[in-house]
């Protein structure tokens, strides 16, 4: 169990992430449907969504299932895996690989509320009986 495993997909960018989020929410959507979800919020044109979908397919992050003359797009990677990878990356880059340091930092800078702390404590009890 080391933290240096390479992901099978290439790096997902900020803009692409918005698209992934839509597909994680519900897969098998058309480009138009994805656009409905994000174009307004991000001020994108439909063309932009199409580009991002293409790039995500190329990167191996989503699948394009033919459906008539269009595609239904679905994530190929799970959100949890992506999120885990990103978190790991952050911890490696900024906290010397120590997740505990990250938690410590969050606590010190009061990024963690009392509720957060309680929740984490509960979590720990579960993980280390």
> In the complex, which residues of this chain contact a copy of itself (CB under 8 A)?
1, 3, 14, 17, 80, 83-84, 86-88, 90-91, 93-95, 98-100, 102-107, 109-121, 123-124, 127-128
Distance CA 21, CA 39 (A): 13
Which element (helix H / strand E) includes 73? strand 70-75
Q: How far apart are the first and last CA of the chain?
A: 22
Using rule CB under 7 A, residue 129 touches DNA:
no
Size of the site for DNA (CB under 7 A): 24
Contact criterion met (CB below 8 Å) for 52 and 39: no
Q: Which residue, 43 or 109, has its beta carbon nearer to a copy of itself?
A: 109
Asked if 68 is part of the footprint of DNA (rule: CB under 7 A), the reply reads yes
């Amino acid at each position: 169990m080391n933290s240096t495993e390479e992901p099978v997909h290439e790096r997902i960018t900020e803009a692409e992430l918005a698209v992934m989020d839509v597909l994680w929410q519900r897969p098998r959507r058309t480009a138009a449907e994805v656009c409905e979800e994000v174009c307004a919020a991000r001020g994108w044109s439909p063309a932009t969504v199409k580009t991002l979908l293409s790039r995500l397919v190329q990167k191996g992050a989503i699948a394009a299932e033919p459906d008539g003359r269009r595609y239904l797009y679905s994530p190929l990677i799970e959100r949890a895996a992506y999120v885990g990878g990103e978190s790991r990356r952050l911890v490696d880059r900024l906290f010397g690989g120590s997740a505990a340091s990250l938690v410590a930092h969050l606590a010190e800078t009061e990024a963690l509320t009392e509720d957060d702390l309680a929740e984490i404590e509960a979590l720990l009890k579960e993980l280390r009986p």
